[in-house]
Structure 1
Amino acid sequence: MTSVRVPAGSPATEEEARAVQDALRARVVLDEPGPPAGSGYVTGVDVAYDDERDVVAAAAVVLDAATLDVVAEATAVGPVPFPYVPGLLAFREIPAVLAALERLPVAPGLVVCDGYGRAHPRRFGLASHLGVLTGLPTIGVAKNPFMFAYDDPGAARGSWSPLLADDGEEVGRALRTRAGVKPVFVSVGHRVSLAGACAHTLALASAYRLPETTRRADALCRRALRETTT
C-alpha cells in the first residue's frame, strides 16, 4: 500500500469543484468505440471509507478480459480530501484511485468504475473524471440509477432499457446481467461507446450481477482499509 497525497491546487470548495467539472467535461471523448469486449486487459477500481478516521482506501485490479484471471492489483490509502457533497463524490475518490492505478505494473486497459460516467446530474461522474485525467477508456457500472428514469428491461440476460434524463437524453442503460435479477446501470465514461460499455459489462458479469472487476476491487479495497485501520 501507499499513502495518498492530494495534488496542490485541488478544489477546496463546492464552487471550485464545479468549475473543475465544467472545465474537464469539455474534454470527454464520446465518439470512440473503445476496445472490443473480451480482449486485452480490463481494470476495476473501487474505494472504501472509514468515516470515523476520515480515511479512504482505493483498489485497482487488472483482469485478463478473456479469462477474467487476475493479472495485477494495487491499493492506496490516504485521508479523504473533500467533504461529502452529492454530485461531487469524484473529488473524494480521485486522488486515491489515481495512486492505486499508478502502482500497477501493467497498463490498465479499459477501466470499470463502481459508479457513473454520463449518468450524473452534471454529466461528469467518476468514470468520466478519471478517463479525462488519465486518457484511458472508462465506463461506469452502478448498482442504482441515481436520479434517472428507466423502464424495467426484459427478464433475459442482456436485455436493456435506456436510462433517461428529464429532457429525454439517454445517459446510460439499465442492463440485465443475470436472468431475473435486478439490472445494473451502465454509462459511458470516456473513449467508449454506450453499446461497447454494455458489451464489456456483460462479458465481465458472466457469473454474478456485478462485473468481476467491481467484485474484486471491492473486496481488495475493503481489505486494504481493514489492514490500515486495525
Structure 2
Amino acid sequence: MRKTLGLVAAVVALSVMSWAQLPGENPQPGPQFPRAELYGGYSYGLTDLFNSGYREGLNGWNASLGLNAAPWLGFVFEGSGYYGISKIPRGAAQAPFPNCPPFCPLGTNTFNVNTTLYNYLFGAQFPYRKWDRLTPFGEALFGHSGFRGEARSSPDGTLYARVGSGMGLMGGGGVDYKISPRLALRFKADYLQTRGFKLKQDNVRFSIGIVIRNVHKKKRTLEEENPPEQ
C-alpha cells in the first residue's frame, strides 16, 4: 500500500512539474513601473505669506524622492525653497511688522520685505499609467512650512525680521513626459497652504524639472533563455 501511494505521489509531482514548464503556460508578469523616482527642478510661487493682499512671485526650487508601492500609488518626500520680495501696505495694517513708530519703513503706499520660504512635506502620489509617453498624477502632502521676512526702517536703517512657521498642506498634480526609460520631463501645479502669525496663507506654485527613474529590467522567461531550434 505504501509503495502504491508513493508511486501515485511521484506521478502527480512529475505531472505538475511538466505542466509548469509547458510553453506559453508561464504566468503573465505584473505591470512594469519605476520603483523609485528622483525629481528636481525650478519652481515659481505666487504667495501672500504676510496676509497683505498683495500676491507676489517668488523664484525657487523643488525636489522630491518618490517610492512607488504599486502602479497607482507612491509615497513622496519633498523639499522646496522660494526667495524674493513681498509687498506690505504701510499704516495700521502692516502686521506682522510693528506700526510706526518704532517701525517706519521706506516707501509710500507699500514697503518691500525680503522673503524666504521653505517647505518639507510628505504624502501620497497617485499616477495614472495608461500611456507610454504621458503619465498624469495627483498628489496630497503635508508637513512643515517656514518663512522669514526682513525689512528696514527709516531713517536709521534698522533691520526688522519676522519669522512664521506651522503646518504646510499641499494638493495638486501634474504630468510626466517620458524622454527615455530612465528620464522624464515633469510639469506640476499645486495649491500650497501655509500657517504663520496665527493665520493661514493661500499660495499656488508651478514647477518644471527632470525625473530620474529606477527602472527594473524585465526578467527573461525560460523560452527566451532557450529558444527552440529552427
Q: TM-score, normalised by structure 2?
A: 0.23
Higher-Rg structure is: 2
Give the helix-richer structure, 1 or 2.
Answer: 1
Q: TM-score, normalised by structure 1?
A: 0.23
Give the strand-richer structure, 1 or 2.
Answer: 2
Instruction: Tell me: higher relative CO, structure 1 or 2? Use CA pairs within 8 A at least 6 residues apart.
Output: 1
